[in-house]
Amino acid sequence: MAVRAIDLWVNTSMGQGKPPDWLVRVKEDYFRAGDEFFKSFTPEELLADMDEAGVEKAVLSLGVENPDEKVLDFARKRPDRFAFAAVVDPRKLMPELWRLQALVAEHPVAMARVSPFTIDVAPSDAVYYPLYAKCVELDLPLAINTGLPGPPCPGDSQDPMHLDRVCFRFPELKLCMAHGADPWWGVAIRLMIKYRNLRLMTSAYSPRHFPPELVHFMNTRGQDKILFASDHPVLSFRRCIAEARELELRPGVLEKFLYQNAESFFFSPRKPRI
């Protein structure tokens, strides 16, 4: 049976320049990957990989400060296939948010994104609050990494429990945990039950390694809460979708996981408040 997918975390420029030491450590110690880990793509090359795996849309990582023109060209050439995750540093406050707002106005931005471990500031810190307010104003979903990060660095800032007060104080914020939630899966699941606007994408997490409690949640109360993402080429489209098809999911759940939940949460019409 053919499947279709939306991939919410795709990298286009992993082979560009010298990688930072922490990313080399992730490749060697965490993923034990080969040379395909550090690979860059042209739009045509990436589309070929997507077509082979059944990926209809891909969300590409893009910094809001001096956004890479090569990455922007992907959506210029195929706006039907590519959108962007705008990577934000909340510590830069209003200038960063103005850059985000301008990017959203000019390009197909599906979400803002923050990786707390890279700045070692938990998302419960007040420095994030202007970003949360701006995302609510723009009706723009926000992805925040959760779970212990792969690099050898402090990871307590990515405990999903930090999102409890965020969801409570910003109930209109559309928030998605990214890169799974290991080893705090139970906390992440409980928070998703508690808050209507909280989701989780499985980027950088191989489906065959999903914990049993996550698969159970996908089959029961979380059918609309868990969204597919690969982190391609770190984990390839082909591998992740093939492994997803092997999960013991109830009828209709695979389609929700791979496509429908992302379409609803990230690509439904927006209603900005500004």
The model's pTM:
0.94
Question: What ranges make up the beta strands (E) of the chain?
Answer: 5-10, 55-63, 82-87, 109-114, 142-145, 175-178, 198-201, 226-227
Structure tokens given for 185: 């899966």
CA–CA separation, 96 and 117 (whole Å): 18
The tens digit of pLDDT for each residue in 60-80 reads: 999 999 999 999 999 999 999
- Judge contact between 236 and 10, C-beta under 8 A: no
Indicate whether 16 pLDDT > 80.
no
Indicate whether 203 pLDDT > 80.
yes
The tens digit of pLDDT for each residue in 158-198 reads: 999 999 999 999 999 999 999 999 999 999 999 999 999 99
Lowest mean pLDDT: which of 54-58, 86-90, 233-237?
233-237
Indicate whether 30 pLDDT > 70.
no
> What letter would DSSP give residue 29?
I
> 132 to each of 52, 99, 124, 272, how far by Cα in Å?
37, 15, 11, 14
Per-residue confidence at 13, pLDDT binned at 50, 70, 90? Answer: confident
The tens digit of pLDDT for each residue in 110-144 reads: 999 999 999 999 999 999 999 999 999 999 999 99
CA–CA separation, 201 and 180 (whole Å): 6
Mean pLDDT of the chain: 94
Structural domain boundaries in the chain: 5-267
For 95, residues 6+ apart whose C-beta sits below 8 A from its C-beta are: none
CA–CA separation, 251 and 256 (whole Å): 10
pLDDT, mean of residues 221-249? 97
Q: Which CATH superfamily is domain 5-267 in?
A: Metal-dependent hydrolases (3.20.20.140)
